[in-house]
């Protein structure tokens, strides 16, 4: 085996596959097995059905009620081949949601399995728990937490339109990488309605234990939501400047350009 110590020393700074070393003309067997494991975890994240029961139970402990819905995709194979169907509620789910109480909320939270049930199971409740005190402090009304199976980001537009939400936050399992099968994404849309474009959303990504922590993610999400509601927009016109907000809520000075 060759000595790749200069590269391998850098591995502590990243989950990326660098400095793997060599065994003759091939990778060391340890790295081959590690790659196979990571690939299997990524496949499991995509194909394992999500179990909503523990998430529902955890939400109840935080004083939140939830409602399950399905996208128009119907099953996992269809969901993977027809992204357009994952963006819309099934007719039955749309009808049930329309009959829900607490319409016209200031904020609607949608949790969708997306492409990683692992990421949702590991992170969604923790993010909501960190976000909840900030939401209550801001006195935003909330609708039911919508739990969407076979859902994509734009399903939040459909659910938000049905309930008349002022803003929707979609927490969704991100497409798994070979070092991050458990990542959660957060997408925010002001005045959600069917037909919104991706450029009209803000995204906070890579929420997981090895990435952006739940508390830091909740802080960013709350800042973006507050500014979205104040300015009446989300998307490319709303930049994340939460880094300039101090812990006491006051604004920090920005560094001068060119430094």
Contact 130, 171 (CB under 8 A): no
- What CATH number corresponds to the domain at position 91? 3.40.50.11240
Which spans in 138-213 are helix H? 155-163
Element housing 35 (H / E): helix 29-47
* Structure confidence at residue 241 (pLDDT): 87
Residue 253 lies in a domain: no
Has residue 4 been placed in a domain?
no
Decide if 249 is inside a domain. Answer: no
pLDDT score recorded for residue 82: 96
Residue 41 lies in a domain: no
Domain assignment present for residue 6? The answer is no
d(CA 221, CA 235): 13
As for how many domains the chain has, the answer is: 1
In whole angstroms, give the CA distance from residue 19 to residue 242. 35
Rounded to two decimals, the pTM is 0.89
Tens digit of pLDDT at every position of the chain (259 positions): 455 567 777 888 888 888 888 888 899 999 999 999 999 999 999 999 999 999 999 999 999 999 999 999 989 999 999 999 999 999 999 999 998 777 789 999 999 999 999 999 999 999 999 999 999 999 999 999 999 999 999 999 999 999 999 999 999 999 998 888 999 999 999 999 999 999 999 999 999 998 999 999 999 999 999 999 999 999 999 998 887 765 555 555 554 443 3
Q: Is 46 annotated as a binding residue?
A: no
Cβ atoms of 28 and 34 within 8 Å: the answer is no
Dist. CA 121–CA 133, nearest whole Å: 21
Domain assignment of residue 202, given as a range: 52-239
| Domain-located, residue 256 | no
Residue 125 lies in a domain: yes
pLDDT value at residue 21: 84
User: Is 174 annotated among the ligand-binding residues?
Assistant: yes
Please tell me the predicted confidence (pLDDT) of residue 255.
Answer: 47
**Does the annotation place 32 within a ligand binding site?**
no
User: What span, in angstroms and rounded, lies between the C-alpha atoms of 230 and 233?
Assistant: 8
């Amino acid at each position: 085996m060759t000595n790749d110590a200069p590269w391998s020393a850098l591995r502590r700074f990243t989950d990326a596959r660098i400095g793997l070393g060599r065994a003759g003309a091939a990778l060391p067997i340890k790295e081959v097995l590690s790659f196979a494991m990571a690939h299997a975890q990524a496949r499991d994240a995509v194909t394992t059905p999500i179990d909503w029961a523990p998430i529902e139970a955890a939400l109840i402990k935080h004083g939140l009620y939830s409602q399950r819905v399905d996208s128009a995709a119907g099953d996992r194979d269809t969901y993977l081949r027809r992204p357009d169907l994952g963006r819309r509620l099934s007719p039955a789910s749309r009808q049930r949601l329309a009959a829900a109480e607490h319409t016209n909320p200031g904020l609607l939270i949608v949790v969708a399995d997306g492409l990683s049930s692992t990421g949702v199971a590991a992170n969604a409740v923790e993010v909501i728990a960190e976000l909840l005190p900030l939401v209550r402090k801001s006195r935003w009304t909330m609708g039911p937490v919508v739990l969407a199976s076979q859902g994509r980001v734009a399903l939040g537009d459909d659910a938000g339109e049905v309930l008349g939400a002022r803003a929707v936050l979609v927490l969704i399992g991100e497409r798994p990488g070979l070092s991050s099968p458990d990542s959660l994404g957060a997408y925010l849309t002001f005045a959600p309605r069917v037909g919104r474009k991706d450029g009209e959303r803000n995204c906070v990504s890579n929420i997981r234990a090895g990435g952006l922590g739940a508390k830091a993610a909740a802080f960013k999400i709350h800042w973006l939501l507050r500014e979205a509601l104040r300015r009446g927009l989300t998307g490319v016109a709303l930049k994340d400047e939460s880094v300039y907000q101090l812990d006491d809520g006051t604004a920090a000075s920005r560094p001068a350009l060119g430094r």
